[in-house]
Structure 1
Amino acid sequence: MRVAVVNWRDPWHPAAGGAETYAWEMARRLAALGSQVCFVTARAPGQRRREDVEGVRFVRMGGPLTVYPLVLAWLLLRRGRFDAVLDCQNGIPFFTPWVLPRRTRVLCVIHHVHDRQFGVHLPRWGAAIGRFLEGPVSRWTYRRYASVAVSPSTAAAMRERLGWTGPIHLVPNGVHEPVVAAGRSPAARLVCVGRLVAHKRVDLLLDAVAQLRQGRPELHVDIIGRGPEEARLRARLPEGVTLHGHLPEEAKQRLVAGAWLHVTASQGEGWGLSVLEAAALGVPTVAFDVDGLCDAVRHGETGWLLPEGSDFGKGVAAALDEMDGGQYDAYGERCRAWAARFRWDRSVARMFALLQGRAAAPGHEEPWP
């Protein structure tokens, strides 16, 4: 097949996150299956306009906002070239059906519904425009097309909050086999992995550190990630916290593997890829019971889900006490078994079937119970 993967960033963009990992894993594995894949995306300073990586052709143009009209114009000039398009929505989709022939199969990939997050990142007028584009305009544009959600809560939010009417298929994130051995640190350690943006609410974790260290003076917190909030967060780091920024994969895994808990105070996710990566290393997660994270974390089995608005520090302290009470091995085994159910090859096989207009192949049903 000739496939265009349209995503606002690529995995090497300075602001890349889990959505970019998802798009890249789909692209490179579709190419490995024999498809001709073109990854169309924005261009960060210093990036090449065109290059080939692992059989995928990258075409880069525009910035955070200009990428949208530029990609539409690029596709319009090549409207008969592709059999299928993965139109990845990161708050706002690319509206590729506007410029493509009806025979081109379009799958709108949605990680999570952004309606509430627009108000966190944008002024009131900008948030209103974002919600209008994500809601009524997207609903009308993709009404005749199938869509892909990465988790059950995302699919439910599409129906309930966006009024989505077309078919929605679940194609989850996968996880790679860890390259380091699991094994927690003797002293209590927490790790938080993710982009440093406002809706991740890293401040809630920092606010809880003093409270947590009263009962465990040796406790240390490692924060891994980069983003627009990094400088502000560095300026207010309490004692016992290290903000590492971006780390190579092996170094990141080594820190995660040594942690007692992976923690996130995020307002909502599509899934929470860092949760799955921590689980693969046997590390459970403490998170709020919000979209995406309520799917990635199995409460009482692979971690703990706290009621939204509850005291984050108390929730983490209770989880630390449970881990210190002899539950580490049991949680680790359940975490690794849960993560093993999610593999990129399995997800790509399902996506490939959808791109061909088929239902998922036998054995590739959704892994959720």
Structure 2
Amino acid sequence: MRVCLVTWGSRGDVEPMAALGARVCELGGEARLCAPPDFEELANRAGVPLFPMGRPIREFLHGERPATPADAPRTAANLIAMQFETVARAAEGCDVIVASGLMPAGTRSIAEKLGIRYVCAMFHPGSIPAPHQKPLARPGIPFPPGETDIDVLWDIDAQRVNALYREPLNAHRAAIGLPPVDNVRDHVFTPTPWLAAEPILAPWPGSPYFEVARTGAWILPDTRPLPDDLHAFLDAGTPPVYVGMGSVRAPADFARMTIEAVRAASHRVIVNRGWAGLAPIDDGDDCFGIDEVNHQALFPRVAAVVHHGGAGTTTMAARAGVPQVVVAQFADQPFWGARVAALGIGATHEGPTPVEGSLTAALMTALAPDTRTRAAAIAQQIRTDGTTVAAQKLSAMG
């Protein structure tokens, strides 16, 4: 089985695909990964060759002129062009393409042209049209004021996708002799998308429009040791609170307000600089700055995890049995924050931008003994076989 894995996004989009690629290889198959060039080290660690797609995503998100909603049409056209260029080359000789990340609108067309199978995988349920949920925010046509009809809202969501992707997609399809696509979103998703998310964290009640196949989250095993200086900090006192915002832009003054809130709760702090550029606010010996490290080794040793609510960080913290505080910014992050609160394994901050003192109540909830007990209990239910389930499903496709 030769699998081409395609995604465009930040680490939360790329690492699960690398995890599936690693598992496919362990089971005797071959995998290739099309993703932004930022993740060459990650691909090497997974043992999957990287076909770089486009310019660095970090530059796109955090450059001197980061992308805005007004750039969405140009971004969509560029994304489709990247897919037709890179995926067409990487997928030669493959049996199946698995696509995820920001709307892989061109990827199914490549599979169609090559005559190979195609799977669309989601790492959160919020993008899948269903009567129990409203669409996530996208640039484009606004929802009518006061509109509550779910079918109407999902129809508008499809129109938004078409407005961004249909014209450039159909131009590329015509160039390779394929007929035009009318509904880009449903074409990309297919009638049977995969949901690669932890079932406890992301329950799926079903949808009359799609036959969703669940696999569980795709987790890349990480055996990297923690740095010696981080080990020394952990060993020097009580468990600290971890603070990180992953790949997103942090709200103004986020590091200071969070560190002060953690100190007010009488805890030490680990600050992950990340792409958000967080940093300790002084040289106090109760605060330690780190770069990217093994969360699977670190999280079991902290008192709580304060983060942006990405699917990967939420799942890793839940798996470690550590309470969480989610400061959601956009996209699927409010969903994960709501799930953390609903499960009683932490709290979610009200709104994306903390103000003085606003983190205190959420942090106190997370640090309460009952929350830690609940987080430890939920950790026992977290599945770790998602990549195995997915790899076996791919193998069964023949």
What TM-score comes out, normalization by structure 1 length? 0.65
Matches within 5 A, 1:1-369: 1-8=1-8, 16-44=10-38, 56-63=48-55, 64=57, 68-76=80-88, 81-89=93-101, 91-101=102-112, 103-112=115-124, 115-116=136-137, 132-133=163-164, 138-142=184-188, 144-151=190-197, 165-175=209-219, 176=221, 186-187=237-238, 189-198=240-249, 201=251, 203=253, 206-211=256-261, 213-214=263-264, 216=265, 218-227=266-275, 229-230=276-277, 233-234=278-279, 237=281, 242=287, 244-249=289-294, 255-264=298-307, 266=308, 269=310, 271=311, 273-287=312-326, 290-295=334-339, 299-300=343-344, 302-305=345-348, 311-320=358-367, 322-323=368-369, 327=370, 330-331=373-374, 333-338=376-381, 341-343=382-384, 346-356=385-395
Tell me which moved more, 287-296 or 102-111: 287-296
Change (3 A) 1:30 1:141: same
- CA shift digits 1:68-111 (9 cap, x unpaired): 4233134446776322101122x332421223237522111223
Structure 1 equivalent of residue 177 of structure 2: none
Do the aligned partners of residues 239 and 144 (structure 1) sit closer, same or farther apart at CA in structure 2, a change above 3 Å counting? same
Query: 1-side partners of 2:100 and 2:348: how far apart?
Result: 28
Letter in 2 for 1:172: G
What is the Cα deviation at residue 202 of structure 1? Answer: 8.0
CA distance in 2, matches of 1:275, 1:184: 25
Q: What secondary structure does 2:390 align onto?
A: helix
Q: Name the CA distance, whole Å, in 2 between partners of 1:78 and 1:209.
A: 45
Could you tell me which amino acid in structure 1 is paired with residue 26 of structure 2? A
| Cα deviation 1:44-76 (Å, max 9, x = unaligned) | 49x69xx97766333224315656423313444
Q: Residues 110 and 154 of structure 1 are in contact (CA less than 8 Å); yes or no, is this contact kept in structure 2? A: no
Q: Is the 8 Å Cα contact of residues 185 and 260 (structure 1) preserved in structure 2? A: no
Asked if the contact 2:323–2:346 (Cα under 8 Å) also holds between the matched residues in 1, the reply is yes
Secondary structure of the equivalent of 2:241?
strand
Alpha-carbon distance change, 203 to 94 in structure 1, aligned in 2, over 3 angstroms:
farther
Secondary structure of the corresponding residue to residue 274 of structure 2: coil
Matched residue type, 1:347: G
CA 1:84 to 1:254, structure 2 compared with 1: closer, same or farther past 3 Å?
A: closer
Decide whether aligned partners of structure 1 residues 243 and 350 sit closer, same or farther in structure 2, where only a CA change above 3 A counts. Answer: same
Going from structure 1 to structure 2, the CA distance change for 1:53 and 1:357 (only over 3 Å counts) comes to same
**Cα distance in 2 between the residues matched to 1:142 and 1:69:** 16
- Mapped to 2, the partners of 1:83 and 1:8 lie a distance apart of 21
Contact 1:184–1:260 (CA<8 Å) still a contact in 2?
A: no
Alpha-carbon shift at residue 140 of structure 1 (Å): 3.9
Kindly provide the CA deviation profile for residues 214-255 of structure 1, in whole angstroms up to 9, marking residues without a partner as x.
4x4x4332222411x31xx44x93786847342432xx5665
Counterpart code for 2:364 = A
RMSD value, Cα: 4.5
Structure 1 unmatched runs, 5+: 10-15, 120-127, 359-369
Q: Which whole-Å CA distance do the structure 1 matches of 2:297 and 2:192 have between them?
A: 40
The count of residues paired between Structure 1 and Structure 2 equals 313
| Structure 2 CA distance for partners of 1:188 and 1:52, relative to 1, 3 Å | closer
Deviation for aligned residue 1:26: 0.2
Q: Which amino acid aligns with 1:262?
A: V
More strand by share: 1
- Letter matched to residue 351 of structure 1: A
Structure 2 residues without counterparts, runs of 5 or longer: 58-74, 128-135, 141-158, 167-181, 329-333
What is the percent sequence identity of the aligned residues? 14
Could you tell me which amino acid in structure 2 is paired with residue 32 of structure 1?
E
